[in-house]
Structure 1
């Protein structure tokens, strides 16, 4: 059965590099036969968190917030493409995520991290593991980490150079792990529903 996977990305910077990784992951998931959709926090453009989706009465949330709530709730699993800002995660993506809670629960999520330097966004990935777990998601154990993102993709968006080749080689296991958990969670939700 075809899976529905959302790929979240959250940089608002002018010359953002991580969008290349987010787009590539989205295409690579689709090439495996699953449905993949990129959710770009900058394009969604939710306001700084004042009221969560759940704070609104049914049908009263702003249209963009409501549409994304429905998209998240319908998905089988997620990928978070996590850039590292000063040792932490991107505020744009964190702001988007904080508008929701129950829509994410009881689904798996995989983290793909990146940085401009050699450490591949590992500190951001670690921070996201804690946050996503607290939101009720199962974080997969196979990370995807990309160092020196500025040179890792060619003009067409394909992996290039040593770092690009490394990420292309690591992707199948990353995706297999996520898909295993998606299938397990989907079967369990169909069998018994939410745990509480």
Structure 2
């Protein structure tokens, strides 16, 4: 029977003389290079995917820049500042744009839909990002309802602001929505609300005039 010894090989590790196995594990690190080609390929694919994502973000951003008004651009970048850059992708850009259009009472154009199809951008992904977006901007649900309101949006917004100022708006969103709808559907209530606001405005104006007259009065 052959007697086995620990011998040091040319690389400086102790090995079993019979089997050639390394026995000096404290100084030996084993690394399997059999899948190196796979990892290189996977790494390359990851880099390509990341590049495609960045490129698509640029394409979408450039497109939006070309179709947005100056006011929309201002709103777009204001919202953009509230979002972690790592979370931003092409769908998020588009979600912000659609959100802005909704606030303005606008709808997307055919060219926009065509652009999405050409670039393979799905509507589902955009809808999901819009849900996240509403949490980010923390919009009052009543304001969102007003944006979707089929009637006079400016009047509805004015009434809502006046009701809040008078302390009439209270409770949860559904309760506040009912109160708003009550005033929107009742012409007498609307006129009364507007008249009260006009009277307050007149009172404020008169008060300012009286203060100005008093300041200009000189005592001898």
Report if TM-score (shorter chain) is over 0.5: no
Q: Which has the larger radius of gyration?
A: 2
Question: Please, what TM-score do these two structures have when normalized by structure 1?
Answer: 0.24
**Bigger relative contact order (CA 8 A; separation at least 6):** 1
Higher helix share: 2
Higher strand share: 1
Question: Please, what TM-score do these two structures have when normalized by structure 2?
Answer: 0.22
